[in-house]
Amino acid sequence: MLEVQDLGIRFGGLHAVRDVTATIPAGHITAIIGPNGAGKSTFFNLISGFYKPTSGRIRFQGEDITRLRTHEVVSRGIARTFQTTTIYKELSVLDNAMIGHRVRTRAGLLDALLRTGRERRDEEESRAGALRALERVGLAAQAGRPAGALTQEGQKRVGIAMALSSDPKLLLLDEPAAGMNPEETVNLMALIRELVSGGLTVALVEHKMSLVMGLADGIVVLHHGQKIAQGTPGEVSRDPAVIEAYLGGHAHGGQMGQTITATTTGAPRA
């Protein structure tokens, strides 16, 4: 569904993503993993059109989208969530999902908040998209409640509905399980699986290896901005370069190091 070739971006002297060639197959869940600072969020920002690459190509369903603007990328069928999705807690769940639709399509956030003429013309379309999205994340019954009254998990679902409201073909989730407890994480995994069995393709950046290993069909591993491995969870967790990246001199330890160790050698946490 999505192919990147020799993708790269520099920030001054720093090559945050470098010569990455990878694929995100349709109907799959692809995880992008790597130690802190590996370039995962930057990679997401590139494929969602937030950053323009300094080298390489991005093709989505056969079309070159490398130079498209963010809303043009969205209109092709790619939407994303953010590490910390802004939820308007005092607004209803439906209004949040509608804002999600509008900021991702034609009207900007300011239009959405100020209710300009252009925004009003989009309103009915937004409402329909938002309601469909709330159905998909199991929040239709909560549409009228203030978003701030929902649980942490419910608020995460609102964030996902905000992205789904533009009816994407590819959904990019940036650390969806951040701040969630194990039970909420399991529920989130079930939701992602359900969305994929409904025809969506998902790519996610995630630190929680239990989620990645239990959910992903394929994993792309980045390290210092470069792809060091792509394969199934089993292949990647046995890959010496991946083990070295997590446990070597640059590892940050924590959950990723711990789980990679456990799934590969069974050795105690480094």
Report the interface residues with ligand ATP, using CB under 6 A: 11, 14, 16, 34, 36-42
Output 14 or 149, the one with its CB closest to ligand ATP.
14
In angstroms, what is the minimal distance from the CB of 118 to ligand ATP?
Answer: 30
Output 43 or 60, the one with its CB closest to ligand ATP.
43
DSSP 12-77: TTEEEEEEEEEEE-TT-EEEEE-STTSSHHHHHHHHTTSS--SEEEEEETTEE-TT--HHHHHHHT
In angstroms, what is the minimal distance from the CB of 94 to ligand ATP?
Answer: 31
Output 34 or 257, the one with its CB closest to ligand ATP.
34
In angstroms, what is the minimal distance from the CB of 119 to ligand ATP?
Answer: 29
Output 130 or 245, the one with its CB closest to ligand ATP.
245
In angstroms, what is the minimal distance from the CB of 51 to ligand ATP?
Answer: 7
Taken in order 165, 60, 192, 253, is the CA torsion positive or negative?
negative
In angstroms, what is the minimal distance from the CB of 91 to ligand ATP?
Answer: 28
In angstroms, what is the minimal distance from the CB of 3 to ligand ATP?
Answer: 20
Output 50 or 88, the one with its CB closest to ligand ATP.
50
Output 29 or 205, the one with its CB closest to ligand ATP.
205
Residue whose pair of structure tokens reads 């197959």 in the numeric block: 25
- Whether the CB-CB separation of 81 and 159 falls below 8 Å is answered with yes
Tabulate helix, strand, coil % of the chain (nearest 5).
Answer: 45, 25, 35
- Cβ density class 53-80: b for 16+ within 10 Å, e for less: bebbebebeeeebbebebbebbebbbbb
Which of 171, 206, 163, 162 is CA-nearest to residue 192? 171
